[in-house]
Structure 1
Amino acid sequence: MIDVLVIGGGNAALCAALMAREAGASVLVLEAAPKEWRGGNSQHTRNLRCMHDAPQDVLVDAYPEEEYWQDLLKVTGGLTDEKLARIAIKASSNCRDWMRGHGVRFQPPLSGALHVARTNAFFMGGGKALVNAYYRSAEALGVQIRYNAPVDSIELDGERFVAARIGSERIEARTCVLAAGGFESNREWLRDAWGQVNGQWIADNFLIRGTRFNMGTLLKFMIDAGADTIGDPSQSHCVAIDARAPLYDGGICTRVDCVSLGVVLNRDGDRFYDEGEDFWPKRYAIWGRLVAQQPGQIAYSVIDSKAVGRFMPPVFPGTRAHALPELARAMKIDEARFMNTIESYNAACRVGTFNHAVLDDCHTENLTPPKTHWAQPLDKPPYYAYALRPGITFTYLGLKTDPRAAVYFDGTPSENLFVAGEMMAGNVLGKGYTAGVGMAIGTAFGRIAGTQAALAARNVKGKHDHAIA
């Protein structure tokens, strides 16, 4: 019998599998996707948000625990479990050497418009390279891996794990780690979570920025089986992405990063939120939800030529025009309404010393909503517009857990069933997001879950051997 069964194939699952194997357990990983699509949403990631008290290898300056915590507190609006959040934060300070030991490489620190040279360590080759490195290491260590293996149910004895099922196939193990992701690919579940407006399902206009394989099958099974849950099903890592992005797996390249450098209008030609509220890596993930709340779930990021070169260029070119009325017509927004919004914004701009690398003093006055930083008139042609749709990366509804990563049933922790990654991220992320924190949560709790599962498997073996004796 296998000691540790890991259900899932992304970062958290692989961290769990590697830690369990290092602890001496036999490990089987069940990945729902075929080999070429393995890795879940982790294949689309780029970086890990890391706490550090002084400069460290690829990280400049310092990013202490308390600042990290305050950043998380701000984006979640307090909807976070501080104890679990601080576990992830502290773990992010010392996991990179372990990651390197399994083949992960980091690139030199970035500088410029992303503002993340201090806070985030970037993977050389991105998330796909990280996932491939972990799989190579797991295979070398003797971890068994099965692809095209979507678990649809598990067998429980009270709160104890007994076996997993793939259709009629039954797979027993002494312990189990659930790391099979959220339900972002399940359109019906998204519809239920978001509801309708004027007879139309809001979620029908969503694009799935992440993997197509996260249907939430195992999550729903666990909820129906009585596992304790946490989180709002409508909350997610939801980014405003290019409206022309593919339905699934668009990943990082579909993001549009010029929001803070211009204005964002809905289809009625109105602004609806402060584009300069905070640095983009701390705020980019609120814009998907904001766009989802607009008519038709669409918006338009509008910039002028002053912004070109100040942000990561999108994969798709924007709509270009030499005059603002021409741009309005190209986007099919009422020209008079569009021009009134832009002219009101331009008149309200109080330009000080523009600096996109700091929270500068360029702001608007007597304008609702305001633009707090980086406010400059849109007055230098040509002008550009990018149509935006909500892009769901991963959902936050998950299983309640504790510092041991145990699954709970009616307040009682399971002795041999653990959870990591997106299936428990809602404990830390009640809402909002800040760049790289998902990988920090998945890495921390994946490693904890793997360690605890290996320990629990030894205990089960010990009891069995004692009973035989």
Structure 2
Amino acid sequence: MHTDVLVIGGGNAALCAALTAAEAGARVLLLESAPRALRGGNSAHTRNLRCMHDAPQDVLVEAYPEEEFWQDLLKVTGGRTNEHLARLTIRASSTCRGWMRRHGVRFQPPLSGALHVARTNAFFMGGGKALVNAYYRSAERLGVQVRYEAPVQRLEIENGRFVAAWAGEERITARACVLAAGGFESNREWLREAWGQNARGEWPADQFLIRGTRFNQGVLLRHLLESHGAERIGDPTQAHMVAIDARAPLYDGGICTRIDCVSLGIVVNREAKRFYDEGEDFWPKRYAIWGRLVAQQPGQTAWSVIDAKAAGRFMPPVFPGVVADSLPALARALGLDEATFLQTVNDYNAACQGGRFDHTVLDDCHTQGLQPPKTHWARPLDTPPYTAYALRPGVTFTYLGLKTDDTAAVRFAGQPSDNLFVAGEMMAGNVLGQGYTAGVGMSIGTAFGRIAGAGAATAAGHATTVRDESEATA
């Protein structure tokens, strides 16, 4: 089979690429490895898009200027980011919603009491599944051919140019190709290889749960890196990794398995000891570091412990916690050493300094003389009943990927391909070297999906550009 533009992948970035190329008049074929009912990859589990804006706009309150967005990203990545590509993503996030609406995406009104995300993030009406469905409907109207259950195992590349893709026994040629097939988070063997064995003789990756799709096996990513020598970016152990309920399913648990009360209490490991500052920063900026922190603990397990004062202050998870009327009873119920647990809680309680508790700001409730400290929202655990949630690492997507530039081209030996492009999780490591802040994955996928789609259409002989579309009057 032959087409103008071949898009490999079926999530947000792939769909943005396919729609952009089709708008330019290109014939587009999209290959999704999942069956139709599970289409959309991790994008089906998303909720929002982080957006720069200089004044209040439709579903965004106040302002979130470029420099603040950049500083937020710089902080969570610890400087492990390409500033040029990061700022490209940031600027694109300010103008993409008009285009998204034209393709059927709807946004909901600003959320109240949502820890600042009403200022920074635009939420999809119906969540990521509704966004994915809207894009597929628009793709159908534009004539994009979609094949489900069509995983691609390998590519033919000559002198840095895409020639063909193999989906099973079928060879598909195209004038240009966009790779948007996700990371390798569902490939247990690759995770084991990346994380290795720790000093306790454990294989941490064996305890990881996958928050999203089971179909992100990293087959094409590894093929590009090992068989074709594509330039790589990122650390294979770095990922969007969240502390989720230990009872979550192996795949597709999504948002409802996240535990969001960490900043309202303390977190202890199997040794009944704290190991990190639970109140370091606002939860949307820090929630995605906790999976990695738990992965470094014995048994890759921990417990988030709160008292009655935290009730109603966080999004409740799908499973109830372990509840006890006393701290000793809670320790016994969790199987933790009672004396050590009580010592940990007593030391924490004694270190809490008085202040005005306010979970919507970086308040002055902190610990003193305690290691690790709790910088904000530190209140004694002294009001029964007490609740604990068991935590395990939940991997959303991995950051090892293909190096690219502002054209979204895949690079070989220092040279960008003129007809092979990459978007989404397969290149997110260019912007996210580590850490995460809520909604930025969708910002990256949307920006680079559209850039890759435009580049592929141009390479196929259909000139196009990614237009800025003001939201000022939307």
Q: Which range, TM-score by smaller chain?
A: over 0.9
CA distance in 2, matches of 1:216, 1:260: 34
* Alignment-mate amino acid for residue 108 of structure 1: P
For residue 196 of structure 1, give the secondary structure of its aligned residue in structure 2. Answer: coil
1:360 maps to what in 2?
363
2:213 maps to what in 1?
211
1:341 maps to what in 2?
344
CA distance in 1, matches of 2:363, 2:204: 36
Q: TM-score, normalised by structure 2?
A: 0.96
For residue 118 of structure 1, give the secondary structure of its aligned residue in structure 2. Answer: helix
For residue 119 of structure 2, give the secondary structure of its aligned residue in structure 1. Answer: coil
1:62 maps to what in 2?
63
CA distance in 2, matches of 1:106, 1:122: 6
1:114 maps to what in 2?
115
- Deviation of the 1:111 alpha carbon: 1.7
1:147 maps to what in 2?
148
1:379 maps to what in 2?
382
Alignment of 1:43-442 (within 5 A): 43-197=44-198, 198-224=200-226, 225-442=228-445
Note if contact 1:261-1:375 (Cα within 8 Å) is conserved in structure 2: yes
What are the superposed Cα offsets for residues 178-198 of structure 1, whole Å, 9 maximum, x if unpaired?
000000000000000101123
Q: Which runs of 5+ in 2 are unaligned?
A: 464-474
Residues 1:38 and 2:14 are matched in the alignment: no
What are the superposed Cα offsets for residues 101-133 of structure 1, whole Å, 9 maximum, x if unpaired?
000000000121432110000000000000000
Give the ranges of 4+ consecutive aligned residues of structure 1 lying more than 2 Å apart after TM superposition.
197-200
CA distance in 2, matches of 1:267, 1:27: 52
Note if contact 1:302-1:386 (Cα within 8 Å) is conserved in structure 2: yes
Note if contact 1:113-1:310 (Cα within 8 Å) is conserved in structure 2: no
Note if contact 2:25-2:462 (Cα within 8 Å) is conserved in structure 1: no
CA distance in 2, matches of 1:456, 1:320: 60
CA distance in 1, matches of 2:318, 2:62: 31
Note if contact 1:301-1:386 (Cα within 8 Å) is conserved in structure 2: yes
- Deviation of the 1:57 alpha carbon: 0.2
Q: Which runs of 5+ in 1 are unaligned?
A: 461-469
For residue 87 of structure 2, give the secondary structure of its aligned residue in structure 1. Answer: helix
Change in Cα spacing, 1:459 to 1:415, as seen in structure 2 (3 Å) is: farther
CA distance in 2, matches of 1:326, 1:132: 48
What are the superposed Cα offsets for residues 75-112 of structure 1, whole Å, 9 maximum, x if unpaired?
00000000000010000001001101000000000121
* Alignment-mate amino acid for residue 81 of structure 1: N
Note if contact 1:113-1:311 (Cα within 8 Å) is conserved in structure 2: no
Note if contact 1:113-1:356 (Cα within 8 Å) is conserved in structure 2: no
For residue 438 of structure 2, give the secondary structure of its aligned residue in structure 1. Answer: coil
CA distance in 2, matches of 1:236, 1:423: 12
Note if contact 1:59-1:117 (Cα within 8 Å) is conserved in structure 2: yes
CA distance in 1, matches of 2:52, 2:462: 34
For residue 51 of structure 1, give the secondary structure of its aligned residue in structure 2. Answer: coil
2:26 maps to what in 1?
25
Q: TM-score, normalised by structure 1?
A: 0.97
RMSD: 0.8
2:5 maps to what in 1?
4
- Deviation of the 1:200 alpha carbon: 2.4
2:457 maps to what in 1?
454
- Deviation of the 1:25 alpha carbon: 0.5
CA distance in 2, matches of 1:234, 1:158: 31
